[in-house]
Structure formats: structure tokens, C-alpha cells
Amino acid sequence: MLKGTVTSAEDGVTIPGVTVLEKGTSNGTVTDIDGGYQITLGNGNAVLVFSYVGFAKTEIQAGNRSTLDVQLQMDMEQLNEVVVVGYGTQKRKDLSGSISRITSEEFMQPSTGSFDQMLQGKVAGVQINQTTGAPGGNVNILVRGVSSISGGNQPLYVIDGFPVDGGSNSDMSGYGGDSFSSANMASNTANRINPLNSINPSDIASIEILKDASATAIYGSRGSNGVVIITTKRGNYEKAQISLDMSYGYQEVANKLDLMNSQQYADFVADGRDNAWIFRGGSIDDPNEVRNAASRVRPEFRNPESLTIDTDWQDVLFRTAPVRNAQLSSRGGTDKTSFFISAGYFSQEGVVINSDYNRFNLRVNVDAQISNKIRIGTSTYGSYGYGRFANTESHYGQGGLLSNALAASPTIPVYDDEGNYYFNQADVTDGLGFFANVLAVSEGSEDRRNVMNVYTNNYLEVDINENLMFRTSAGINYSSSNIRLWRSNAVPQYTSLNYPATAGATKIDNINWLNENTLTFNKAFDNKHFLNAVAGFTAQKNSSDRLSAGASDFPTNYVTYLSGGIVNAGTQTLNEWALLSVMARVNYSFDSKYLFTATIRRDGSSRFGNNFKWGSFPSFSVGYNISEEEFLSNADFLSNLKIRASYGISGNNQIGNYTHIGLLSTRRYINESGLIPGLVPSSLANDDLTWEISKQTNFGIDLGLFQDRVTLTADIYRDLKTDLLLAVQLPAASGFFSSVQNIGDIENKGLELGLNTVNIQKTNFTWNSNLTFTANRNKVLKLATEGGRISNSSYQITQVGHPVSSFYLINKLGIFMNSDEVEGAALFHPRTQAGDIKFEDVNEDGVINQNDRKIVGNPWPDFIWGVTNNFELGNFNLNISVVGSQGAETYIASGGALRGSNGVQNGLALQDRRWRSEEDPGDGIIPRAIRSNHALGFGTSSNFLFDASFIRIRNVMLGYNMPKELVSRFRLTGMNVYTSIANVFTFTDYPGYDPESSSTGDNVVNAGIDYLNYPLPRTYTLGLKITL
């Protein structure tokens, strides 16, 4: 029998809850409230292991004693922290590259389906944007600015050693194309389920984000956009622990828009039509009979006060919705084998009707020591996600739900007298195309998707001698996803009220296999020189098979699958890529003071043209731990000071699998017997096609003060991206619109700061803060032609000297407040009048037209930041995180739906501040209502460009650790109750639902266009965590 007390070496305070384990057995106990313990040992040679969070694990030989008091040292986390680097690990203090690490304690917030949302604001240098509020929806991770114009911008994700291409194909801006014919239904393959969503956040132990070239170059042609390494929890060689985490929350739309009510709407419509009639030469007193159809005003709109119905269509479309999460996991092992097993279920209903997302997940991580020198292990994971998705984006003429709810007149009811959906075209838009009741559209459209992911990565490690280890691994990642689309004939399309029903189905099967082989060498010479080296060879291949079909001619709406109609469209595509690589890295440190790292990787890829199949990617970095020097050993306040510098070359291979091959595509035509196929060249061959290059220089400083009570990491970098793939626009006379060539240069330079402070640390109360700040400047240096320009979208261009995708619009200066201002001004249309928009005559030619477009903003923030404050008072814990973004702009492509001045659709209540007359000029921003486009410069002006800066209280969480007595009465080791609110409030001037939304999803280069994405929910959660 051995007993004793465990105290903290720092201040002598006793520590309850410390695990005391007899090493190599499952014989253990836990210190009581006074830090005391008692344990009966199995044998006299027992070694006792003392472990507790925040303290260094301590092992002591029990010997013959009967009393053993132990003092535990505070874990100098920052310095002894082990960081996962590519193909290995390194101690933070030996690191000379720029890597950010987040552990699960730091980012765990409940009830969000995907881990990437939780990282927002916590990692310097990384911009994380939740582009849509849809359950299962896309989140963008952008490391150190936008890097590529035509290639992908997604970082490489390495999940338990398995590299996975980022990118989710979630660009919704083209959804539906021009019609929902069966052929288009079959080709609607944009993704609504974020692939990162398949990873259960509770399984994650840590996330490392590799930012500079010395860290990413080891990933060669895939490292230029940064690398996100995700490590899941593994077992420990201790007594097994079981934890259960359950939470229940409910969500509501975080920011509902303030639209016009019936009175305001009637006034607005009357105003718009009167002005249109006056423009045609009539007078405001003319009765409806003499007016043209577009200028007539319904009699009841002349008397707004008489309108009794005031429908809030947003309330019809939105609802409060629950979200549930239950995760069960177990972790433990014997002295030879350890395991981590988890299983869980996540279910989220959406705040827009008829939408939801659910996921089942199961994981088994096992590590086993077969013999003294051989270890094996596996990380195996399966998940199944499925849900129903709502088509919120796009115009109501194509079934866009939000556009419908925002445009619908508040003067009509939701149901008619018989309880059917109210529909009377004349009420709704007076001749603008069909516009069914939003509930009918929601019910008539189905978008059901599911994704199954099975993934396993298995390794074998052999210790060849005490310095050399060989490791080989083999893994497979298999995913199968299904999309089922349906539109009944109750969903109109532009001018067809009963556009016939069509259905589409798509199935995508993807297999990716990986084999990696590495030799690792570790040796210390004279205890002063430490050498670590890795060399390896890997092969990876991906095959993707996509099958899609579309059907039309449905006799009824009962069967919403292909079988209910006639399948008459569809295709199958096969896509493959292959990668072979050799890599090596050497780390050398002298006396823990001077650090050197060099890496090189050589990649051969099937994506590259025949003249450039293989590429080399080297890097080197140096670091100097100044705080280890003699002359600083007396500086007690300085716990850490390191400066580091790195330079390296990495690449981006997200360039399409077959871009270097000249291809033909089908075009159908007709002859007397029916359809006949034709083929036309669709792309020009290019044997010189190769990866995009990133040459990055990084300087960093790591500072720790007062025993690491204050730690600061600062990095400044310059990343030159060259040989960017650009679709070089070709003159139409060549027969091709563009060809992809390596020709562009972009530069990203910036500053990142990460600051951690332990503000107050007393026995009963601690307060620490974490701040991140990132400022990145993006500039295009070279394009295909001198002074060249690329149109990214109808509103954006990429031009030398400016950031990628800058907004290129006719600049709105304000409103003509009175007719004097109109006199002599440059006009868009000869009959512009007071109350219309005033544009800037950029080329000073006296006329406003397309030649007056200029760059008026860009979608990239000037800086982003995050502040997290963590308070602990006794057993209570309060965590508040705030994030902010400053300087980004967004173009609301649905501008007509929110602030259209036509006097036809409903819009923001801000319309009340429009110009009505010279005596009543409004706020000078919103033009007069008139049912004609001449005054608005329809399409490409900055009238619908808005500042998307915001400050958002991202999460507030309050938790309570049940006291030990209560907990042990239930025979548990821990119990924690928590409540939290996510997306508490957003401070912003942006008039849309969410300043972060982007309809182009992971197509980051076209960011900044809002076409009414799914609104962000605010979630209130209550949860319980139990450990046994």
C-alpha cells in the first residue's frame, strides 16, 4: 500500500483528480479533493505514472516506500508542444517554419457539423469564411490570400497522413443554367455537401496549418495554397475512458431582413408606375384606362391605409429548427495496444423549410506494438451524410426561394379562402414572368443528397536500428455520393407557368489510394548536435466515375424519381489523376540554439503536359533561439525569443485532369429522322502546361514573456505566385474563346500576428485571451498581355496592378437631387431626370457608358481578426469569441430583389428613403422608383456594391464542471454541462442576410457575389458531457 499527496511545484497547492497509474497495468487511482491518493502495488518494481492536464507527466519508481509525495511541473506547453509537420513531428522549439496549431480544447464548440467553421478567427494568416448558412454547407479556408486565378485555391488537407484534395465544387452561381430541362437536371452537379463535413469534429485531436514554404514544400506540387493537417485522437496506453457528449440546440435565422410592409409597398409601386407613365409623356392624374399596361396602378394602392393584409413572406419561408448531436467515444489501451473508438450521430434541420442535414460516423484508431521493433496501426473511418437541400440562390423565375420571398407582394395572403396556396398572377408582379407561391415552389422542388465516405490508412513501422526507422503505409479513401433532383410542374420557369416536371439523378464514385514509404533517421551527437532526416517515396491515384441521367414527361407528380418519367438525357464521365513523388528533409539543430531545415520534393503528375511532367520543389529555413543564449539566461522575464526565416518553392496542381489535351465535345443537331450528334473542338492542346509555382519568403519571430504568460508569434511574408494558369482570352476569330496557359503572376504579402495572454491566474479564477490579426495584400503582377485584363464575371476583372477579381463597374456618385444638377452633367440616357442615379464620367467624354467603368473595390478584406476570451471561475467556464473582417466588398447580384427601384417587387424598407421629389429628396443614396431601366445603368454599376465589413460575436459558451463529489457519486470521472449561443450578433452595414456569404462557394477567385445564399442561423445550445 502506497500513499501520498500530489502538489504543484509552482505554488505547492494540492491537485485533485490527478491520475496515478501503475505503469504497465490497469491498476490506478485518482487523487482526492486534498490531492491525496492510496494505491496497492502489484510488485516491488512498480513505476508510478502521475498525469494531469496542464502538468508534465511524471514517472517515479515506487521502490520500498510507503509514502510518496510528488510535485508536478507546469507543462511549458508552448515550448514542449509537439507540432505535426509533413511526414513527421517536431518540437515547437525546434521549428523554423511557420505553422499554426490548434488543439481540440481550443476550438471545440458544440453543435456545428463541421470543424472548419470552428476555426474562424483562431488562426493567424488564415481566412475562414462560411459562405452559406445551409446545413452541410461550404466553408472556405484561404491561407495567406488568394493564390490562383484559374486553378483551385483550396489548401491540401492531410487527414491522418492521407492527402486529400480540397475543393468541393460548391459554386452555385450557375445553378440551373437557363432552364431545368432534363439535360440540365442531369448536369446540375454542383455540390451542396461540404466534404470536410464528413469528418466528425469531436474526433479531432489537433489541426496544424502549414503556411510558409519550408513547411509546405515537402508537399511539393500541392503545397502552394497551404496545408491543413488534421490528426484524429488516438488511444493512450492507460485505463480506458468512455465519454459521451450530447447536445440539443435550436436555430433561428440570425438576421432577418426588414422589408417594406403593405403600405410602403403600395406607395412604392404607385410611385414607380406614375413615374414611368410620366416618362412616356403622360400625366400623373391620368386614369388607368389611358395608360399602358406597365404604368397602371391598382386602385387600392392609391389608398395604402386601406390595405388590411400584410404578409411577411420571410416568416413563411423560415422556421426555427433543432440541431442535435450525440457522440460516444472510448479511449484507452494496455501497455502494448491502444485504441480510440468513436461513434456518433449529428442531425440539423435547416432554418429554411424543407432542408436538413444528418450524419452518422464511426471511427476506429488502433496502434499496436507487435514486438520491440515493430509497430502497426490503423486509422479507419466511415461516415454517411444525407439531407434535403433548398434552392435559395438564383432568380425566382428559376425557382429561387429567397428571391421569391423577398419579391412577393405583402398585400396578398399566403392561403386563399379554400386553404390552397394563394396564387393570382395579377396581384403578384403584374407581368414580370411567373411567380408562384413560395410554399408551392418549395414543395415542388426536391434536392436530396447523400455522401458515404469510407477511409482507412494503415501503417507498419520497423526500427532498423536505434537511429533508423522505416515506415510504410497503405490507404484507401472511397466516397460515393448521390444527388437526386426533382422539379414538379408547380414550379414555374420564367414565362412558363407549368413548366413540365423534370428529374435528374447523379451518382459519383470516387476511389483514391495511397502508398507512402519513408525512412527516418534521428541521431544526437555529443548531446549538442541533433540531426533528423526523412526520405521517402509515395504514389497516389484517384479515379472518379460520374454517372448522371435526366428525365421528363412525367404524367403525375407522385413519383419524383427518374422512373416516373422518360429518361432522355444523361452522361457518364471518368476522371483520373496519378501522382508519383520522392521527397527528403533534413533538420539540424545545434545546442537547441541554431536550427536549420532543408526539404526537397520531386513530383510527377498526370495533369502536367508532356514537356513538363516532373517538377522539383526545394526549401530551406533557419531559426535562432536567442533565448537559449548565455547572455539572456538572466533575463527572467523572457521565457522565449526566437527569430526565423525561410524560403521555398511549392506548387499548385489544381489545374484540371486533362487540361493539356485538346478535346472535342458533342453538339446535337437534327435531320429528317431526328437527333444526330456533332462534334466540335472545345479546347486547344497544350504540351507546355504545368503546375503553378509559389515562391515564398517568410520572416517570423516567436516571443514569450513572463513564463509564457504572454506569447506572441508574428510573421511577415511575401509569396510570389508565378506561372499561373490563365484562360488566356483568344480572339473569337481563332475558333476558341480561350486556352489555358501558364502565364500569370500574383503577389501576396502580409503580416500575421497571434497573441496569447494569461491575463489573470489565481487558484480560483483565470482569464486568458487569444488574439489573431491578419492583413494580406493581393496584387496581380502579370497577365497574358501587357495591360491585359480578364473578366472573372459580369462585375469583376483581374487586372495588373490590382487585386484579383476587383469589381469593375460604372461608379455611382449619388443621386441627382434636383434638375439643376442634371443640367450639363454626363448622362447615361438623354432623358435622365432628378432622382435618377448620378454616375462618374471617368473618361470625361460627357457620356456615361461602358467606357466609364473603373475599379471600385474588391472582395478581399484589408484585415481580419479574432479575439477569444476564456474565463474560469471555480467550476464555471465562460468562452467568448469575436471575429471581424474589414474592407471587403460584396456585389449583391440579386440587387433587384433587395433594392430594385422598378416599383414592381418588394424590397428593403430602406426604399422609403428614396428620392420622391426635389422637396423630398430622401437620403441621396436611393434613387426614385420608376418602371424603366434607362436611369439605372442596368447591370454594371456600383449601385449594388456594398461594404461587407463586419464584427461578429461568433460564439458565447458557458460551461460548468460538476464538482468531484457529485460526479463520483454517479461513478463517473467527469461531468460537464454547457450552454452556448453561436452567431450571437453581427455588426455590419451590409444590407443582405450575411456579409460573409458568397454564391460561388469554393470557387474563391469569383468571391464577393451574393445571389441570396441560405441565411446564417443563430443557434442556442444546451449540452452535457460525461466521462467514465
Partner 1 sequence: MKKYVLYILTLLAGTSCSDFLELQPEHQISDGSFYKNANDFETALIGSYSSLQNLYDANLVYVGELTTDNAEIQWTTPSIFEVELDEVNFTSANNFLNSIWQISFNLVSQSNNILSRIDGVAMGNQIKDQLKGEALFLRAFGNFNLVRTFGPVPIVEVAFRSPGEIAAYDMSRKPEAEVYQMIEEDLNQAVSLLSGVNGLGKSRASSAAAMTLLGKVYLTKMEYSNAETALKGVVDSNEFSLESDYKSLFTNGNDELLESIFEIKYMSGNLGVGNGFSSTFTPARFDMDIFPNQMQGSGRILPTPEMADAYEDGDLRRAASIGDSVRVISGGFEKELYGLKFVDFTTGVTGDGGINFTALRYADVLLMYAEALNQNGNQDEAMNYLNMVRDRAGLPDLSGLDQVALADALAHERRVELFLEGHRWYDLVRTGKLLTVMNTYFERNSLNFEVQDYNRLMPIPLRELDINPSLGQNTGY
Q: Which of residues 117-136 bind partner 1 (CB under 8 A)?
A: none
User: Of 248, 624, 658, 960, which one interacts with partner 1 (CB under 8 A)?
Assistant: 658
Q: Minimum distance between the CB of residue 914 and partner 1, rounded to whole angstroms?
A: 18
Strands of the 1009-1010 sheet, one edge to the other: 945-947, 889-892, 1009-1010
Show contacts with partner 1 in window 264-293 (CB under 8 A).
Answer: 293
The conformation of residue 518, written as its DSSP 8-state character, comes to E
Query: Residue 82 or 663: which CB sits closer to partner 1?
Result: 663
Q: Which is nearer to partner 1, 589 or 756 (CB)?
A: 589
Question: For residues 107 and 828, which CB has a smaller minimum distance to partner 1 in the complex?
Answer: 828
882: β partners: 867, 953
Interface residues for partner 1 in 760-819 (CB under 8 A)? Answer: 785, 789, 791
What string of DSSP letters covers 936-971? TT-SSBGGGEEE--EEEEEEEEEEEEPPHHHHHHTT
Select 10 or 178, whichever has its Cβ closest to partner 1: 178
Where do we find the cell 497571434? 754
Is 753 a binder of partner 1 (CB under 8 A)?
no
* Closest CB 181 distance from partner 1, rounded Å: 5
Burial degree of 139 (CB within 10 A; 0-12, 13-18, 19+): buried
| Greatest CA separation for the chain | 111
Residue with cell 411577411: 312
Compare residues 38 and 665 and give the one whose CB is closer to partner 1.
Answer: 665
Interface with partner 1: number of residues (CB under 8 A):
108
Distance (Å, rounded) from C-alpha 204 to C-alpha 115?
8
- Which residue of 426, 526, 823, 965 would you call a contact of partner 1, by CB under 8 A? 426
Look at the alpha carbons of 23, 24, 27, 29 in this order and tell me if their dihedral is positive or negative: positive
Residue 179 CB, nearest approach to partner 1 (Å): 6
Task: Give dist(CA 651, CA 378) in Å, integer.
Answer: 30
- Scanning 297-437, the segments in alpha helix (DSSP H) are 313-317, 401-407, 425-428
Does residue 425 interact with partner 1 by CB under 8 A? yes
User: Nearest CA to 199 among 253, 119, 121, 85?
Assistant: 119
Nearer to partner 1, 580 or 755 (CB): 580
Which long-range contacts does 667-673 make (Cβ < 8 Å, 24+ apart)?
none
* In the complex, minimum distance from the CB of residue 310 to partner 1, in angstroms, rounded to a whole number: 24
Please state the closest distance from residue 433 (CB atom) to partner 1, in A.
8
Q: Which is nearer to partner 1, 221 or 774 (CB)?
A: 221
CA 422, CA 415: separation in Å to the nearest integer? 5
Is residue 74 within 8 A of residue 8, CB to CB? The reply is yes
User: Binding string, 552-591, against partner 1, x = CB under 8 A?
Assistant: xx--------------xx-xxxxxxxx-xxx-x-------
Q: What is the C-alpha end-to-end distance of the chain, expressed in Å?
A: 25
From 697-705, 706-714, 809-817, 926-934, span contacting partner 1 (CB under 8 A) = 926-934
Within its chain, how far is the Cα of 541 from the centroid?
Answer: 26
Residue from 316, 539, 716, 825 that binds partner 1 (CB under 8 A)? Answer: 539
- Extract the runs of DSSP E, i.e. beta strands, from 851-949: 853-857, 863-873, 876-886, 889-892, 945-947
The interface with partner 1 within residues 686-705 (CB under 8 A) comprises: 686-687
Q: Which of 3, 298, 602, 718 binds partner 1 (CB under 8 A)?
A: 602
Asked if residue 465 binds partner 1 (CB under 8 A), the reply is no
Near partner 1 by CB under 8 A: residue from 287, 670, 763, 920: 670
Question: Please, what is the minimum distance in Å from the beta carbon of residue 506 to partner 1?
Answer: 14
Nearer to partner 1, 254 or 780 (CB): 780
Q: How far is the CB of 329 from partner 1 (least distance, A)?
A: 39
Among 237, 421, 513, 521, binds partner 1 (CB under 8 A): 521
For residue 586, the minimal CB distance to partner 1 (Å) is 9
Give the three cell numbers for residue 999: 454564391
| Cα→Cα distances 725→659, 698, 735, 781, 796, Å | 10, 24, 20, 14, 18
> Looking at 90, 112, 502, 796, which residue binds partner 1 (CB under 8 A)?
502
| Span from 386-394, 694-702, 730-738, 1000-1008 in contact with partner 1 (CB under 8 A) | 730-738
Classify each residue of 979-1011 as buried b or exposed e, where b means 16 or more C-beta atoms within 10 Å of its C-beta.
bbbbbbebebebbbbbbbbbbbbbbbbbbbbbb
Nearer to partner 1, 533 or 1012 (CB): 533
911 or 986: CB nearest partner 1: 911
The gap from C-alpha 864 to its chain's centroid, in whole angstroms, comes to 15
Site string for partner 1, 876-915 (x = CB under 8 A): --------------------------x-x-----------
Q: Give the integer Cα–Cα distance in Å for 398 and 238.
A: 59
Residue 60 or 539 having the CB closest to partner 1:
539
Between 362 and 412, whose beta carbon lies closer to partner 1?
412
Of 9, 933, 963, 970, the one binding partner 1 by CB under 8 A: 933
Q: How far is the CB of 680 from partner 1 (least distance, A)?
A: 4
Which residues does 428 contact at the CB level (< 8 Å), separation at least 6? 408, 409, 412, 435
Q: Which of 42, 63, 299, 678 binds partner 1 (CB under 8 A)?
A: 678
- Please tell me whether residue 685 binds partner 1 under the rule CB under 8 A: yes
Site for partner 1 in 175-234 (CB under 8 A): 178-179, 181-184
Closest CB to partner 1 among residues 690, 902: 902
Distance CA 647, CA 215 (A): 10
Choice between 71 and 606, CB closer to partner 1: 606
Asked if 320 and 12 count as a contact pair (C-beta separation under 8 A), the reply is no
DSSP letter string, 36-77: EEEE--SSTT-EEEEE-TTB--EEEE-TT-SB--EEEPB--H
Taking CB under 8 A as the criterion, the residue among 422, 434, 617, 891 binding partner 1 is 434
Question: Which range of residues in 15-23, 46-54, 211-219, 425-433 is near partner 1 by CB under 8 A?
Answer: 425-433
| Residues 470-499 close enough to bind partner 1 by CB under 8 A | 489, 493-499
Scanning residues 312 to 371, which ones bind partner 1 (CB under 8 A)? none
Beta strands 2-8 and 36-39: pairing type?
A: antiparallel
Binding-residue pattern over the window 826 to 865 for partner 1, x denoting contact by CB under 8 A: ----x------------------xx---------------
Q: Which of 299, 555, 662, 846 binds partner 1 (CB under 8 A)?
A: 662
Angle 248-252-257 (CA atoms, 0-180°, nearest 5)?
A: 170
Out of 674, 764, 823, 920, the only residue in the binding site for partner 1 (CB under 8 A) is 674
Nearer to partner 1, 276 or 703 (CB): 276
d(CA 907, CA 987): 21
- Stretch touching partner 1 by CB under 8 A, among 70-78, 263-271, 556-564, 656-664: 656-664
CB 282 within 8 A of CB 273: no
**Which of these ranges, 247-255, 528-536, 887-895, 989-997, lies near partner 1 under the rule CB under 8 A?**
528-536
596 binds partner 1 (CB under 8 A): no
Smallest gap, in angstroms, from Cβ of residue 845 to partner 1? Answer: 12
Q: Residue 150: which of 1014, 1003, 971 has the closest Cα?
A: 1003
Query: How many C-beta atoms lie closer than 10 Å to residue 762's C-beta?
Result: 9
302: nearest Cα among 324, 273, 337, 279: 273
Which cell numbers in the block locate residue 132?
A: 452559406
Phi, psi of 717 (to 5 degrees): -140, 160
